[in-house]
Chains A and B, each alone.
Chain A
Amino acid sequence: MVLMEIIKYLGDKLAKEINISPPAARGLLKLSIKDELDPFRPLFKITFNELRNVLQNSFKKRLINLEISNYEAIVNHMIIELELNQSLITMAGVYL
């Protein structure tokens, strides 16, 4: 699934940030998406604004539940990464 690229990218950044494996980080992001949006919504249909809301809401809650102390800084860093690399949503997502 090509649209996974942005999640894969953010997952790699998150893995380095909190010292967990990339698959676990990606899993955390995907579960956060399911919390926030329709769980049956295909990942390739997620927009930039939805992904930003996921990071600000459900993702943040999950970090708090995992007792990660600097969760605010991590959320902010992830939002900056998303904003800087948002073009991946289009560049990896357009299959004509």
Chain B
Amino acid sequence: MKNIAILGIGSLAFPLGFIVNFVFNMGQVFQEYFVFVGLISVVVFTNMTFYKGRMKKANIILIIAIILGVIQIVLLNLYYPLEIKSDLYYYLRLSLDLPYVLLVFNWLAYSCYLAYRRLKNQDIEPWIKVRYKLIAISSFIISLYPIPRYFQPREIPWGDPTDPISLLIFGITAVIGITYAILLSISWFMPEWMKKYFNKGYKRELEKEFTEEELTNLIKNQLSK
């Protein structure tokens, strides 16, 4: 499944960018390229999973996400050293980062929720419905990630233990990130015992294999009633 491969690449891009930047001190601009790959992969996954054959609206979301992502990269390239000193550049970039992240993850959350709503009363294995719910909830939670960053004091390093506000914001974003990772992992890597737990009380119909002749006769009989 190409869509799953794309989501996998995107999911790896976030930690990879962070780790390479952390180890080799490549800078925030470098890391932003990985964030861009990660976020755009999420939109491509959403479009390929939910919107094949009706891509018009989906492509508009993709184009907006790409534009917002490119703006982030351009702003960082132009103003990164400056934005450390200037509120204007710092909050301008944060203000454009918010719709970018909200759009990407809530597009997935919304698509999952709509699909779940259509399928919740259908005869489908319950663990699959749980997977829809978990992806929708986890995507919504991670979409809130940029909000606490508004309250981060600009001149204080991220997560500085001597500054209570910075520490609190670091804690909130860490909780958001960890919650997202746990829910998303459960949804895609759900262990067998958990599937059985969710499927408790659900009975699968045994599938009868028909021959060509049997099926034609059966349908003709049923149609003539």
Using CB atoms and an 8 Å cutoff, list the residues of chain A in contact with chain B: 2, 4-5, 8-9, 12, 18-24, 26-28, 31, 48-49, 52, 66, 68, 79, 82-88, 90-94, 96
In the assembled complex, which residues on chain B have CB atoms less than 8 Å from the CB atom of A96? 188-189
Q: List 16 A-B contacts (CB under 8 A).
A: A5-B128, A9-B123, A20-B222, A20-B223, A23-B207, A31-B215, A52-B53, A66-B223, A82-B53, A85-B118, A86-B49, A86-B53, A87-B115, A88-B124, A93-B1, A94-B188
- Chain A CB within 8 A of B18 CB: no
Q: A48, B124: Cβ atoms under 8 Å?
A: no
Chain B, 186-225, contact with A by CB distance < 8 Å: what is the 0/1 string? Answer: 0011000000000000000101111010011011101101
Tell me how many residues of B have a C-beta within 8 Å of chain A.
36
Using CB atoms and an 8 Å cutoff, list the residues of chain B in contact with chain A: 1, 3-4, 49-50, 52-54, 111-112, 115, 118-119, 122-125, 128, 131-132, 188-189, 205, 207-210, 212, 215-216, 218-220, 222-223, 225
- Other-chain residue from B1, B215, B219 in contact with A94 (beta carbon distance below 8 A): B1
In the assembled complex, which residues on chain B have CB atoms less than 8 Å from the CB atom of A8? 123-124
In the bound assembly, the distance between CA atoms of A19 and B42 in angstroms comes to 40
- Other-chain residue from A21, A31, A48 in contact with B52 (beta carbon distance below 8 A): A48
